[in-house]
Structure formats: structure tokens, C-alpha cells
Structure 1
Amino acid sequence: MLLAVLAGNPGVASAHSELESSVPEVNSQMDSSPAEITLNFNEAIEAKLGSLEVLDSKSNSVTKNEPVVSNGSRTLKLELPKLNEGLYTVSYSIISADGHPVSGSYVFVVGNPPEGIDASAFNPHEELGHEGHTASTQLTTNQFIIYAVRVLYYASLLLAAGIMFWSVAARNRSDMMKEILRSYELITMRILLVGALLYVFVHAREIMSGYAGNEYNKLFFDTSVGRGWIVLLVLALAGFVAIRLGSVVKLIWAAALLAVESWSGHAAVFKPEAATVALDYIHLAASSIWVGGFILLLLVWTRDRKEAGRFTAQFSRAALISLAVLVLSGIAMTLLFLPSLQYLLYTAWGTLLLVKTGLVLLVVVVGGLLHLRVRRGDLPTLNLLRMDASLMALLIVVAALFTYISPLPVNEPVTYHKMGEDMHFSLRVTPNKPGVNEFTVKVWLPDRVGAPKSVVLRLRSDDRKELGPIDIPIVPYKDTEMTTFDGYVKATYRAEGPYIPFAGRWTAEVRVMNKQDDELVERYDFRNY
């Protein structure tokens, strides 16, 4: 009786719901933010089960709104806030009215978002059009000279800006203090000029290694890096004039020197550029106030302990404020630079930043002890000053090293090939970073089987396993590479588009259906940053 009822009742068809259309459309690009996501299914879905989520380029959900079912339970809608330019992933997981689970994901683009940033963004060779050079991402012993010069340059930069600041800010200066400042302002400018010349020479030589001498004109006049070096050298020479002029000129000179370094560092690559450059400038300014003031304190302390005690009362307050600003600006820049704090574990940059953080915490402790002694009316002790000086030197070394290394790991293209009796398989993803990539799939099937009936490429996020797969719309193309195997017929497919919406670990799944309707499945795990 049950079989008869089922056979005579067309309302219990076994087919389950499938996505018929969507707004925004799959893999579409929009000029402005859509007001909502609309998914239309061919059959009814369960109204109170399932989910619809929209993720940004950092795989964070853009809204906490709940999806709403309409149109006879065939349409699922999710209201959106205003979206900025970027890549967005729509992920749905629903239950059809007949109880079948249905899930999937697709990508859409709003505006013209910038390309994803990885270590390649910090390579000045790209500005020159040079090939064959890679961005520096790890420390090597062969770069000892470069790092030594960078340490000298950063120490001279912070010291010069700091001494210039304190020559203006130090109150109630005695004749001895004025004499020290006059002498060491000149010495500091000499050190800065030597440090800047060595810094420019060593880095220019590294960039131009293997290229003709006439390419140096292009480096210095046609690239932002080279132009920044020219301004740096001009400021280093102008410092000898600035020390003889008034307080306003000195402060302007120090501000300009720090600004040049801010615009030529990592901060100038990240977005929003105004925020990252401003934070980097504040970070450098706080560093220079601390370094310059502490060196001045040591110089005064060797001449007159009482005078050193009076200056310590002023410097200790400024030092603690500077350290607090250093910590806050450093945290803010790290959050802007890195997609997540896990990236601290991926590169030498992250390792050095953790070391720097530990050193800063030690400096805060030592600075606090010095401040307490000053508040009690005591002079700073030699041991505390030595400890603070050692920590300062270590911090300058670490800063010089990790400003040369990319904060982000380098993305390597995916190149995978597997041989097998039933099928040879090849997968390429280039350049393999969040955003637009080129996907190439090659399949070789035995001659007796013939060309494949269909080939499907899907991506699954291993970090967000709850998301449905993203289908890559690969299409056949004519392959000109000489990759043939005797006894096998080749089929090649390609797609290009923003089908990797956010960084992370991914699994590429290729499903090959031959003419006998046998399905062969290959999977390959990869990651990008």
C-alpha cells in the first residue's frame, strides 16, 4: 500500500533544491555595495534551518543580520551594511524541503580593490623593471654588512632627531648643558651623514647588483626609493646648517628627517596609507625622543651628577610617555600590517617583533624604576643607566633588522603534478594570493578511455570548514606546452578571476568524469598569505 501511495503521489519527488540565481551574481563585479544578498532556489527550502553568511577579505562576517525566507520558501535574503571595496564570499548552507542538505559558496567583487599584499610588495626591483630578484624575507649571514649599516643608520637617525628635539625642549639649561649640546649636535650630524651615505651606498649596490652603471640614474630619479634617498642625503647635509639656527628650524628639520623615513618604510605599502604612515611617524618620533634624551642624560651624568639629576626629572616623564606611545603605535601598526596575530609566527619579522616587544617591556620596568628614584629625589644609579643603555642598543639593532624584512610571508605559485595509471593530473595557481589568480588544470587519460566528459575544479577553505565549496569556472583552452605522454590523451582547462577571496589554507578538488561515467577525484592542499 505504501509503495502504491508513493508511486501515485508526484508531490514527493526526490530531487532537492539547487541554486538557480543570485544577486549579486556568481563571480560578478559591482560598482557599489549591494543592499542585500538574494539567493533563489528551484524548490522550497526549510525556513528555520540553514545559514547564509557573507565574509570579507579577512574571512570575517560582515553582518550579524539573520537571513529571511520569502517567495514560497524558495528565496533566501540577507540584508547587508554598506560594503567597502573588496572581495566578498557568499556562503550558504540550507536544507531543502525534502530534507537534503545543500551548500555552496561564491565570490563577488565591490569596486576595484587593490591587490593583496605579500612579500613581493616590498621589492624595489619591481619599480626598476628588473627580473630575477626576490624580496628579502629571512635573515641570512651573507647580509651581515647590510644589517650592520642599517643599525648604524637607524641609531644615527634617531639620535640626530632626538638631540635636535632636546636642544629645544630641555628647560633651564646650564652653561655645561649648552656646551654639551653644541658639541654633540655637530658630532651627531657627522654620524648621521656617514650613516646615511653608507646606507644609501650599500642598498643601492645591492639593488643594482648585476646591472649596468647607467641604471643608477633610473634608480635615483625614477623610483620612490631613490628619490627618498636623495632627500635623506640633502637633509643630512642641511643638518649642519640647522644646528646653527633657531628652535623652529631645528624642529622642522627633525620632523622632516623622520617623515622621509616614514614614507620609505613598510608603512607606505599598506592601506590605509595615511594611517600607517602617521603611526610609523609617531613611532619614530617617540623613539627619537627617548633615544636622544637618554644619550644626553648619559653625557650630562659623566660631567655633573647633580645636573644629571635635574635633567632626569624632565627626561623620565618624557621617556615614560614616549614608551607608552611606542607600545600603542606599535600594536596599532601590527594590527594594520598583519591579517591576524598568527602571522607573527610565519616570518623572521614576527620573531623579531616578539623580541622587540620583550625588550620594550624590560625598558618600561627599568624606566619605571628610574622614575621612582627621581620622584624620591635620588640620582639615577649607574647600574640602571647601564641596563637602560643596553636595552636601548638592542632595540635599535632589532628595529634596524626587522624594518628590512617583509612583515608578510612570500606567496609561492602552486605547481603540482601527479602521475597515475588511470590519470595524470597537473594543477597550477598563479600567483597564489588573495584576489585575482590564474588557475590551470591539465588532465591526461588513457587512449582507451578517451578525453574526459567533464572536469570540475573546486576550492574548499580548510580554515573555515563550515563554508561551502567555491566552484572555479574553468573552460577548455589550447595548450602550447610540450607536455604529452605516450598512450594518453590530454585535456587542458583554465580560468582567471578573484576566486581566492581571503588568505589561508585551501584544498583544490578536481573531479574528472570520463566517458564511461567513472569519476576520478584528486585533491591538493596549499596555502597563501
Structure 2
Amino acid sequence: MGGVLVALELVQIASILVKAGMYISVLLAAGSVINIWLLTELDAAASRRLRRLAVWSALLGVVFSALTIPLRAAFFYGGIGGALDPMMLQIALSSPLGLSAATHILGLLAIATVAFNRSGARIFAMLGVALVAISFTLRGHATNDPRLALSTLFVIHILAASFWIGGFFPLYDMVGRGNAAAVRTVERFGQAALVMVGLLVGAGSVILVILAGNPIAVLTQPWGQFLALKLAVVALLLGLAGLNKLRLTPALAKTGEGAPLRTSIQWEAAAFILILLVTATFTSTVAPEHAG
């Protein structure tokens, strides 16, 4: 793993940063819409701020998704100059990445319609969420065999991850109020998280087995070492989620004091961003070799 990081070239570094930005903005946009639909206890101000976050995240996601094309062209070319080469750009647009990026952008533009705060716009935005999830199945490891199984697992994984990252802002926002609506919001999110986190971990585990075979043997590969780092941060994230549910949420309900829970949510968000950065790094630099 260390050798991979030391050998990073300019195009790879740029690809990692753009891909991480794409992951964060796209999942945040989709997750914000999911939580607008789920967290019915949000007051008008919190709902308005969450819609605004969904729109700005979607627009930022459009920019990052578009940037993946010239960066892939630069990769094909063997240098940053390829980002402006018409032939390399055409090849990148014609690749699975081009189709995935186009689907990303279409889904994100649909998500941005949530700004209108109408029932029809929310339905359209949820269709955008579905498109965003599907877009991740159009490239990379999701196109391997068995494709249908992997595509289904990736959709589940992306939706569950979107739900989680999209919940941080509205929870942080509502917890600051320390009222009954804040408690109900956190409790509703916690109930849904029991299912979503199970789907996230379960789908991710099956994807790992399909792609890499023996999980122990995978640790000898740089890909597996990056994955082990990611899983360590996921374990930390799960620990924080458990702390929130078992101790900090009951404390909020009892005393109305939300500062400890807000601090924990901040740490959760930081851990999630780190997970996405690690994911962007190993998906941009190394690929799994099937072990066993």
C-alpha cells in the first residue's frame, strides 16, 4: 500500500481528488433526498436547509462527474495533456465511464428539482436518486461477472451509504434544538439505520467475496490493504453510531442536551469522508486479483 502511494503520479492524484469529491457530493445529494422523504419530523427551517444542501450537492456532483471524463482522457494519453486531446476525450466519452457519468449527471439534475418543494418534484428527485445508484453499476467492478448480482449489490450499497451520509446534516441541525421533534428525528433515523447499515455491510461483504475470493489472501495485495484500512474506519463509524443510539440519544431525550450528540455526528461525518477518500484512492490505483 505504501509503495502505491509513493508512486502516485499527477494524473492519479487529480483522479483521486476528483473521484473523492464526486463520491461525497453525489452520495450527499442522493442521501439528502432520501432523508427529506424519511425524516418527516423535520421542521420547516430544517427541511428547507436540507433541500438547499441537496441542490448544491447535486450541482457540485455534476461538476465533479464531468471532470472525470478529461481525467480519464489524460490517463489514456499518459499525461495531463490528454485532458484536452479531442481523440482521447472521445474515447473516454465512449467508455463505460462516459455512460456512467452521463447517468450521474442526469440523476443529479433530477435531484436538483427538489428545490421546488412540491410533491411532484420530490418524486422526480427520488427517480434521480435511483439513477445515481444505477450509474455506479455501469462501470468498474460492477460490470464483472456475475453482473446482475454485482449490480444489485452495488445499488443496495450505494443507497445505504447515501442514506447514512445524507443524515448527518439534518440530524446535526435538529439536535441543536434539543426538543421533542429532535428526539423523534434521531430515533426515526436510528430505526432506519439498523436496516440500512445491515444492508450496507452485508452488500459490501458479498461484493468483496465475489471480487476477491478469500478475504485473508486479499490482505497480501495492495487492494486488500487499502480495503482493510477502509474497514477499520467503518468499524470506528459503527462504534460511533452505536454510541449515538445507546447513550447519546437517550441522554438527549432525558436532558435535552444535544452538544455531545452533535460532536459525535461531526466525527461520524469526518470518518465517512475518510472512507470515501480511501475508496477513491484504491479504486483509482489498484484492482483486486481474485484469490481462491
- Residue type at the aligned position of 1:195: F
Q: 2:189 aligns with which of 312, 315, 328?
A: 315
The answer to which structure has the higher helix fraction is 2
* CA RMSD, Structure 1 to Structure 2 (Å): 2.5
How far apart are 1:191 and its partner, in Å? 1.9
The corresponding residue for 2:139 is 264
Structure having the larger proportion of residues in strand: 1
Residue among 199, 219, 223 paired with 1:349: 223
The separation in 2 between residues aligned to 1:179 and 1:314, in whole angstroms, is 19
Name the counterpart of 2:173: 299
User: 2:111 is matched with which residue: 239, 243, 250?
Assistant: 239
TM-score, normalised via structure 2 length: 0.83
CA contact (8 A) 2:190 2:245 kept: yes
Residues 38-57 of structure 1 deviation map (CA, whole Å, 9 limit, x = unaligned): xxxxxxxxxxxxxxxxxxxx
| Aligned residue number for residue 214 of structure 1 | 87
* Separation in 2, partners of 1:392, 1:215: 34
TM-superposed CA distance for 1:168, in Å, is 1.4
Q: How far 1:335 moved relative to its partner?
A: 0.8
The 3 A distance-change label for structure 1 pair 214 and 203 is: closer
Check conservation: 2:107, 2:129, Cα contact below 8 A. no
Larger relative contact order (C-alpha < 8 A, sep ≥ 6)? 2
Q: CA deviation at 1:159?
A: 0.3
1:403 aligned partner: 283
Structure-1 residue corresponding to 2:48: 179
Change over 3 Å in CA distance of 1:241–1:387 after alignment to 2: closer
**1:250 paired to 2:125:** yes
Cα pair 1:283 1:329 within 8 Å, conserved: yes
Quick check: 1:232–1:260 contact (8 Å CA) kept in 2?
A: yes
Q: Are residues 370 and 232 of structure 1, via their aligned partners in 2, closer, same or farther at CA, if it must alter by over 3 Å?
A: same
- CA shift, 1:242, in A, is 5.1
The one-letter code of the counterpart of 1:267 is A
2:8 maps to which of 128, 136, 141 = 141
- Name which of 15, 23, 26 aligns with 1:157: 26
Change (3 A) 1:308 1:148: farther
CA distance 1:181–1:162, change in 2 (3 Å): same
Match of 2:159 among 264, 285, 307: 285
SS at match of 1:408: coil
1:105-131, Cα deviation, whole Å (9 max, x unpaired): xxxxxxxxxxxxxxxxxxxxxxxxxxx
Q: CA deviation at 1:155?
A: 0.4
TM-superposed deviation, 1:279: 0.9
2-side partners of 1:200 and 1:344: how far apart?
A: 30
Shift of 1:196: 1.6
Deviations 1:288-312 (A, max 9, x none): 000001132223445x333543321
Larger-Rg structure: 1
Give unmatched runs, 5+ long, in structure 2: none
Counterpart Cα distance in 1 of 2:151 and 2:286: 16
Aligned position for 1:34: none
- Structure 1: unaligned runs, 5 residues or longer: 1-136, 410-502, 505-528
| TM-score after normalising by structure 1 | 0.48
Percent of counterpart pairs with the same letter? Answer: 22
How far apart, CA to CA, are the structure 1 residues paired with 2:266 and 2:101?
34
- SS of the residue corresponding to residue 214 of structure 1 reads helix
2:137 counterpart SS class: helix
2:57 to 185, 188, 194: 188
The one-letter code of the counterpart of 1:191 is L
Q: CA deviation at 1:392?
A: 1.6
Instruction: State the alpha-carbon separation in 1 of the partners of residues 140 and 88 from structure 2.
Output: 23
Matched residue type, 2:237: V
Q: Give the total of aligned pairs.
A: 273
1:158-190, CA deviations, whole angstroms, 9 ceiling, x for partnerless residues?
Answer: 101100111112113322222212322222222
